[in-house]
Amino acid sequence: MTGVSSPKHERTGPDGVGAVPYLPLSSDDDVVASEQSLGKLVGDATQHVSTLIRAEVELAKSEVVAEAKKGLKGAIFFLVALVVGLYSSFFFFFFLGELLSEWLKRPAAFAIVFGLMLVTTIAAGFLGYLKVKKIKAPERTINSFKDTAAAFKPHRDDSPADHS
């Protein structure tokens, strides 16, 4: 199994995104930290911060791409609504109005055709709205960035200090 940046980023979601490869921060074969030189420790820290930032960017990218795909699907329904509403196969609807006018008065026949066009437009627009409504913020990325920021903040001791 490929390592992930944290247990929260495993492929457990329904969309399967979020698994971000990482370099382990330490291994069992490493020398004890007190025996390493300061330069080695700084180099390792720099490498780990770089890896962490790349993993965060990759996670953000994967979540944004998934949400953009949802938005595109919703936009397609809006496009269908627009096409049907504005350029609604004029000749077909004109034919339908004329056909209905054989049994009804002409104004009533064309009112029925207009109503059908309107219902089609509203239905496609509603379907588009439902698709776009499902778009949400990249919560895992936001939480991950918050966790990272909290890890880099200096920890303060809440006990009262003696200042003489």
Calpha distance 18→25 (Å, rounded): 19
Cα separation of the two ends of the chain: 56
The token pair that represents 109 in the structure block: 């026949």
Instruction: Return the percentage of the chain with pLDDT > 70, whole number.
Output: 72
pLDDT per residue over 12-50, tens digit each?
555 555 555 555 555 545 555 556 777 888 888 888 888
- pTM for the model: 0.39
pLDDT per residue over 72-127, tens digit each?
988 999 998 888 877 767 888 888 899 998 999 999 999 999 999 899 999 999 99
Residue ranges of E strands in the chain: none
Query: How many residues does the structure list for the chain?
Result: 164
Three-state DSSP at 159 gives coil
The continuous run of DSSP H or E covering 116 comes out as: helix 106-133
